[in-house]
Chain A
Amino acid sequence: MKFSSQMVAKPYFIFAMILFTGQLLFGAILGLQYVIGDFMFPYLPFNVARMVHTNLLLVWLLFGFMGAAYYLVPEESDTELHSPLLAKILFWIFAAAGVATILGYLFVPYARLTELTFNELWPTMGREFLEQPTITKLGIVVVALGFVYNIGMTVLKGRKTVINMVLMTGLIGLAVFFLFSFYNPSNLVLDKYFWWWTVHLWVEGVWELILGAILAFTLIKVTGVDREVIEKWLYVIIGMALISGLIGMGHHYFWIGPGVYWLWLGSIFSAIEPIPFFMMVVFAFKMVRERRHGHGNEIAVTWALGTAVMGFLGAGVWGFIHTLAPVNYFTHGTQLTAAHGHLSFFGAYVMIVLTIISYAMPIMRGRPQGNSLKAQKVERLAFWMMCLSMLGITLALTVAGAYQVALQRLPEDAEALSFMATQDKMMPIYWVRMAFGVIFVSGVLTYFTSFFIGGKLPEAVKLES
């Protein structure tokens, strides 16, 4: 670690992992509610558990991105963070607001929560992923602005590397596009149209810039490949992400009101969306193959390669299989969407945060070449448990979705099975998903265990050439 102010990243990473645990707990409850319909009803209805599951994901990924930025921007800028104190204050504000919101979801009926938080003054609640009370949304804006200011000032006074500039564009975009969450007109079509300006332009837009920047930083560190080479790749990858992803938003506009030309634009451009993810795979493996030096933290390298591969599978392949309008006509809003959602969020965003944690956390704990070999071995086991079980969950949901389409969507009115009758037929597949979910939770617990395993620390590795 070059600068002491990088240490502010540590609480961000730790708190992210705590929230991750909570997300998994509620994921497990939701999985059970799929197979035992009235599980925990009426104490924890499905809608509440789902809101907690998705909102925790969102919040902990933001904690992860912030931690990553606080760690890597000073090092890239070659200067101390502008204000470590501001970073600490914002941590506590964000953590308190996040926890209070989740507790509100759990212990106050949602309708009551809208009243308690004066939603009627500026209604923004009750929309998927944007369920947070308006006051929480304002808090997120304050935290995001303070964070972007802090990072921005650091970049301004230091080196303006490509990684810094790309990360900055991504973070500013993240803050700007969140503002669309405050627009909620009575017209459902307009509401939905601009809801996607937050949701799509985050996950298929600016978040990919953040992902690319973190991945590029980690690869420079663990491979020692020339910065010029890595930066060129980064530009092309995120350039392609924006070129395909911006108009690719059209795949969300097929069936919610906008006109027919979106069927063409959405299909064509989103068919290109896998390309930047594929390039990321080629990039990561090429950089590791051409590395100038070895690194004792082998498992961080594994995570970096893993996020490229799993991101490509989840966002690229699983996105593509249902993105063409004639296919999406039948698959829209089925379990196929859930399959894609799980693998893409895990592969692209969960794993990039775990990558930077795996690289940076040992350094912040005084182990510049990574955790002990024994700890890395356990972390590697956890890596495979998580990746394979998430693939299992995805495959199960894919089969479920295909079955759902066959029973409920393809037949004519008279022969089509109702939604609930179809769900009953899908029950065995939901049990398979649940089984993979248990393995996933075990994988994450194994991962946490690895943090506490001591032993001989690895030494710096020199490549023979």
Chain B
Amino acid sequence: MADQFNKGMARNIYYGGGVFFFLLLVGLTFDTMRALPDRDHRENITEEVAHGKEIWEKNNCIGCHTLMGEGAYFAPELANVYDRYGQGNEEAFHAFLQSWMAIQPLKTPGRRQMPQFNLTTEEVDSLAAFLIWTSRINDNDWPPNIQG
């Protein structure tokens, strides 16, 4: 690098740039925190939804599935599974998820298998409530289509 560009200037880029952009990130985070309630509809996080998230975590669902595109890429996206299999009917989705969880694993030879998690009826209902709430988060219209 040219001689007129000395180490002091380089140091200022590092410390100055680092601090400035970190503060900017903090500022943007405050702004996002103010905007989020309208986008995540947190008023609908019932005890059942919160319990559903605990079930989701306790069984490491993210180890195969994605949720809003994040997770493993081994099994289908589930942030829109309510749209895919519930067709806008919460009751139908609860019934679907109950039977779906009960018949695992499908045991088709050579096909990816979902383990049997032995969840109670109530636990599956909570999971369904969590996934329904998740499907309604304003996520800038992702995914592009129903298949996720």
- Which of A's residues lie within 8 Å of B, judged by CB? 33-34, 36-38, 41-42, 45-48, 50-51, 110-111, 114, 119-120, 123, 125-128, 131, 162, 166, 184, 186-193, 228-229, 231-233, 235-236, 238-240, 242-243, 246-247, 249, 253-260, 262-263, 265, 329-330, 332-335, 337-338, 408-413, 416-420, 422-423
Contact = CB atoms under 8 A, between A and B. Distances in A.
A162 B45 CA distance: 49
19 contacts: A33-B112, A50-B63, A110-B58, A110-B63, A120-B54, A123-B57, A128-B71, A188-B68, A228-B7, A236-B10, A246-B22, A246-B24, A249-B25, A256-B137, A257-B40, A262-B32, A332-B143, A333-B70, A420-B112
A193 B32 contact: yes
A232 B7 contact: yes
A412 B143 CA distance: 11
B117 A239 contact: no
A51 B60 contact: yes
Contacts of A190: 36, 40
Nearest to B1: A232
B49 interface: yes
Contacts of A38: 107, 109-113
Contacts of B73: 333-335, 337-338
Given A231-B7, A416-B146, 8 more contacts: A47-B74, A50-B72, A128-B63, A186-B53, A235-B13, A247-B21, A260-B140, A419-B148
B115 A246 contact: no
Contacts of A228: 7
B87 interface: no
Contacts of A51: 60, 63
B10 A235 contact: yes
Contacts of A422: 147
A329 B143 CA distance: 7
Given A131-B60, A412-B145, A238 B68 contact: no
Interface in B62-83: 62-64, 66-77
B105 interface: yes
Interface of B: 1, 5-7, 10-11, 13-14, 17-18, 21-22, 24-25, 28-29, 32, 35-36, 39-40, 42, 45, 49-50, 53-54, 56-64, 66-77, 105, 107, 109-113, 115, 117, 130, 134, 137-140, 142-148
B147 A417 contact: yes
Contacts of A412: 145
A238 B21 contact: no
A48 B69 contact: no
Nearest 9 A/B pairs, CB to CB: A47-B63, A126-B57, A333-B69, A235-B10, A255-B142, A37-B112, A239-B14, A186-B50, A239-B13
A48 B64 CA distance: 9
A263 B39 contact: no
B72 A128 contact: yes
B17 A243 contact: yes
Contacts of A263: 140
B137 A34 contact: no
B39 A243 contact: no
A231 B1 CA distance: 12
B71 to A, nearest CB: 6
Given A41-B113, A228-B7, A419-B76, A409 B143 contact: yes
A402 B68 CA distance: 19
B28 to A, nearest CB: 7
Nearest to B25: A246
Given A186-B49, A235-B13, A256-B70, A333 B58 contact: no
A227 to B, nearest CB: 10
Given A247-B25, A257-B39, A333-B77, A235 B11 contact: yes
A111 B116 CA distance: 12
B54 to A, nearest CB: 6
A51 B18 CA distance: 33
Contact of A416 (B10, B111, B147): B147
Nearest to A235: B10
Nearest to B62: A128
Nearest to B53: A186
A189 B137 contact: yes
Contacts of B117: 111
B85 to A, nearest CB: 11
A45 B115 contact: yes
Contacts of B60: 47-48, 51, 110-111, 125-126, 131
Contacts of B56: 126
Contact of B145 (A166, A247, A409): A409
Instruction: From A239, A263, A265, name the one whose CB has the most chain B CB atoms within 10 angstroms.
Output: A239
Contacts of A249: 25
